[in-house]
Structure 1
Amino acid sequence: MECLSEVPHAPLDRRPRKRQRLGWDVGPEIPQIKFCGQEVANVISAVTLGLSSSGVVSSQVAEELLHVATPPLREDDKDGHYVFAVGDNLTSRYRINAKMGEGTFGQVLECWDRERKEMVAVKIIRGIKKYRDAAMIEIGMLEQLCRYEKSRSSCVQIRNWFDYRNHICIVCEKLGPSLYDFLRKNNYRSFPIAVVREVAKQLLECIAFMHELRLIHTDLKPENILLVSPEYIKVPDYKVSSRSLKDGSYYKRLPKSSAIKVIDFGSTTYDQQDQSYVVSTRHYRAPEVILGLGWSYPCDVWSVGCILIELCTGEALFQTHENLEHLAMMEWVLGPLPYNMLKRRDRQAEKYVRKGRLNWPEGCASRESMKAVMKLPRLQNLVIQNVEHSAGDFIDLLEGLLRYDPDGRLTAQEALKHPFMTERSER
């Protein structure tokens, strides 16, 4: 029995309700059945497929039974993650092949789709209400985006979704590694500027498309940008250090294809819908968000600027976990924050400002914090150190994407027309 939910086309009802007992969760007790010497218990579909009087079935029927066999009920782990075993079924349609990743939302599993005869990625959400609610929002956003042809080249495509043992499962096309995972496995070596340009173009096209629909992603970061293909080549790394040579890592990886897709729309919102919560992962958070000045489309553009710097250097630009230090890093790299922004900060950000300027270094938490800020180079020097070609145009683009005042920041559409973006890429 297969009870899959169709993707909703009407507004979702997010009121809490008792979950129905699904067909694959609970079934009638079936006596143990003998399959050519193997004992297999509680196979739900055995009754419908038919048994001989001796309880012995052919290997062909046994295989069909195993295809729809329900895995044993297991308790979630302490964090609400679904507990599985490779080879388990997620309904009779999907078979778990491998684990692809894990995050605060839950897990992503590689599964074989028996109906479409292809590998897919199934995002299994933690069995906790706030994550389930976010998953339902993401499903609605994915469905809306998938109605438009433009989304197919830039946004991950949803295939299906269903509720399995109190876990929302979102089935999507299987893609390659995230840009963060690619950097990590590449020992945080930077991408060539030509690849950075190609990624930037696709990312900005995706954001421009979303902004046309009045949608703000709010959580853009390298972890949420996936390469379409996992294939890569190895090339000599001419910038390798003597220390790396001892490790034999004088080659670096380059993706065979620069095609990307954006994922994770669980935090996506309509403009002006709700500004009561903090958006963006820390390293990619815009200054107006930290100062409590409200946020809109420009916060996505700021995140894009931070991501592009990370791709060309191999490391996140603002590696911090504290607001005042974060703002101080911005000033060290980009120059002083405008007085009018500091003046309009909200009550929670008052402690970051003193006498009309950032309360730094007076308010810094420790000597280590001060060192972390002072070791950062200016934006121009940072790019010149890592980019051999088109450095001037790239710096100019970044200065537009990372402009403090959100009203003066480049829009995604404007950024796509920048000379750096229109320059022909040569690997």
Structure 2
Amino acid sequence: METQRIMEIPHRSIDKRPRKRPRLTWDMPPPPPPIPPPLPCKVLPASNRSQEVGNGIVPNHVYSSSMFYRGTSRNGSPPWRPDDKDGHYVFAVGENLTPRYRILGKMGEGSIQDSGTFGQVLECFDNEKKEVVAIKIVRSLIKYREAAMTEIDVLMRLAKHDVSGSRCVQIRNWFDYRNHICITLILFLISAVMHDLCLIHTDLKPENILLVSSEFIKVPDYKFLSRTTKDGSYFKNLPKTSSIKLIDFGSTTFEHQDHSYVVSTRHYRAPEVILGLGWNYPCDLWSVGCILVELCTGEALFQTHENLEHLAMMERVLGPLPPQMVVRADRRAEKYFRRGARLGWPDSSTSRESMRAVWKLPRLPNLIMQHVDHSAGDLIDLLQGLLRYEPVERLRAREALRHPFFLPGDPKRYGYSL
């Protein structure tokens, strides 16, 4: 029987040996697992056991997996299974995640068992509220459990200041199930609200910005109207609404916390991070600039996986790095430059493929003009403000939101070819 306990199940070390993936079908009942002996438990602080969010209570429910009856758990919960070798929760579509939630499938790209760094997000039906929700199931490793508690704290702070839920994804509740922190979220543009709360997201990218609605409309794609096709024209799907939600606060950092050396997913990483100059709120705005270019062109602006090449791409698109930034670069970044603060690219190890990847990039205004018509001046000006090298010179969130590009007007004046 799945019982509720107001304590945290102690972390157990995970077997790192290769193992066969557990079967996910119900063709035969699995044998009951051995009941582990009681271990010292770390009790969560009282403040974490029940948290108020919006108009409701967000409790911490801890579900134990150590009590069974002849191999089948009671209350509709699935039989106990070990986590996979990376600490991910192993599930089957159609079974329950605690008696309250029924698993409908996995959200995101990849097969049903593909998982991300911090865990996986499942689409579930809430048997109590009679609605579909998203549940983020964090890996059972201790460092990810601790990071999840920080994310919960961030989501609660955001919920208190974003009562309407118009800006960021909102938390419904959270619970600890079989040693996995689970965060229940409402199923679905960063604004200044996070920075007002002294929060830095540090991992802004298209994958963390979701459309609120999946509805779309078909419109002619004028790029292909001149071509002869079977139906006479090409169409493209456009979202019916542009409303979006910001998600995944697992890497969010408070301003007063110690900052790690490297943050952000590579393609959206600001130059001050690469140069080891420290980072703060402006690193989020650099990421926003990269995202806007990607939405415009359909491709990541800096498609690279190496620091020197990344800096070379920046210089190709945005011009030379400021000498004052190069002089301040830390020892780990000094190797990227020659005397005179000149970027040491290409070097003896640079491949022809790398050189082609850099030299094919146009300057930022030319890149935008390839996808936007002659009225793209506001967009180019906005991007140049977001992608300034010096963090102190970069547009702030509120300044960017007041930019003419976002002011109400005729949407046709930008002529997007998305």
**Contact 1:237–1:250 (8 Å) recurs in 2:** yes
> How far 1:246 sits from its partner (Å)?
8.9
**Contact 1:244–1:250 (8 Å) recurs in 2:** no
**Contact 2:6–2:62 (8 Å) recurs in 1:** no
Q: C-alpha separation between the residues in 2 aligned to 1:348 and 1:213?
A: 32
2:262 paired residue number:
278
- 1:99 maps onto 2:106 in alignment: yes
Question: Cα deviations across residues 318-366 of structure 1 (Å, max 9, x unaligned)?
Answer: 0000000000000000000000000100010011111111112236621
- 1:332 maps onto 2:319 in alignment: no
> Which among 361, 364, 380 is matched to residue 365 of structure 2?
380
- 1:404 maps onto 2:405 in alignment: no
> Which among 111, 122, 131 is matched to residue 109 of structure 1?
122
Larger CA deviation: 385-394 vs 291-300: 385-394
2:58 paired residue number:
none
- 1:132 maps onto 2:172 in alignment: no
**Contact 1:272–1:296 (8 Å) recurs in 2:** no
Superposed counterparts of 1:285-300, under 5 Å: 285-300=269-284
Distance 1:245 1:401, change over 3 A: farther
Larger CA deviation: 150-159 vs 325-334: 150-159
> How far 1:104 sits from its partner (Å)?
1.7
Superposed counterparts of 1:81-92, under 5 Å: 81-92=88-99
Q: C-alpha separation between the residues in 2 aligned to 1:8 and 1:255?
A: 44
**Letter of the structure 2 residue corresponding to residue 157 of structure 1:** Q
Distance 1:415 1:126, change over 3 A: same
Q: C-alpha separation between the residues in 2 aligned to 1:89 and 1:5?
A: 21
**Contact 1:24–1:91 (8 Å) recurs in 2:** no
Q: C-alpha separation between the residues in 2 aligned to 1:2 and 1:425?
A: 58
1:10 paired residue number:
47
Distance 1:406 1:245, change over 3 A: farther
2:132 paired residue number:
119
1:60 paired residue number:
none
Distance 1:269 1:403, change over 3 A: same
1:303 paired residue number:
287
**Letter of the structure 2 residue corresponding to residue 91 of structure 1:** T
- 1:371 maps onto 2:362 in alignment: no
Q: C-alpha separation between the residues in 2 aligned to 1:304 and 1:371?
A: 26
User: Percent sequence identity over matched residues?
Assistant: 66
**Contact 2:253–2:259 (8 Å) recurs in 1:** no
2:166 paired residue number:
153
**Contact 2:212–2:245 (8 Å) recurs in 1:** yes
- 1:359 maps onto 2:360 in alignment: no
Larger CA deviation: 76-85 vs 288-297: 76-85
> How far 1:3 sits from its partner (Å)?
2.6
SS at 1:81's partner residue?
A: coil
From the two aligned structures, give the one with the greater helix fraction: 1
2:297 paired residue number:
313
> How far 1:425 sits from its partner (Å)?
4.5
Distance 1:159 1:369, change over 3 A: same
1:192 paired residue number:
none
TM-score by length of 1: 0.78
- 1:220 maps onto 2:220 in alignment: no
**Contact 2:220–2:233 (8 Å) recurs in 1:** no
The list of structure 1 runs, each at least 4 consecutive aligned residues, that deviate by more than 3 angstroms after superposition, is: 4-12, 21-24, 240-249
Distance 1:147 1:309, change over 3 A: same
Q: C-alpha separation between the residues in 2 aligned to 1:268 and 1:29?
A: 41
1:238 paired residue number:
222
Larger CA deviation: 298-307 vs 84-93: 84-93
SS at 1:147's partner residue?
A: helix
Q: C-alpha separation between the residues in 1 aligned to 2:243 and 2:215?
A: 11
SS at 1:124's partner residue?
A: strand
Q: C-alpha separation between the residues in 2 aligned to 1:23 and 1:220?
A: 32
Q: C-alpha separation between the residues in 2 aligned to 1:315 and 1:419?
A: 25
> Which among 378, 393, 397 is matched to residue 393 of structure 1?
378
1:255 paired residue number:
239
Q: C-alpha separation between the residues in 1 aligned to 2:124 and 2:208?
A: 20
Q: C-alpha separation between the residues in 2 aligned to 1:358 and 1:151?
A: 47
> How far 1:11 sits from its partner (Å)?
6.8
Aligned residues: 358
2:16 paired residue number:
none
**Contact 1:5–1:163 (8 Å) recurs in 2:** no
Any gaps of 5 or more consecutive residues in structure 2?
8-43, 50-60, 109-114, 413-418
Superposed CA RMSD: 2.8
**Contact 1:25–1:70 (8 Å) recurs in 2:** no
> How far 1:165 sits from its partner (Å)?
1.2
Q: C-alpha separation between the residues in 2 aligned to 1:292 and 1:253?
A: 42
2:66 paired residue number:
26
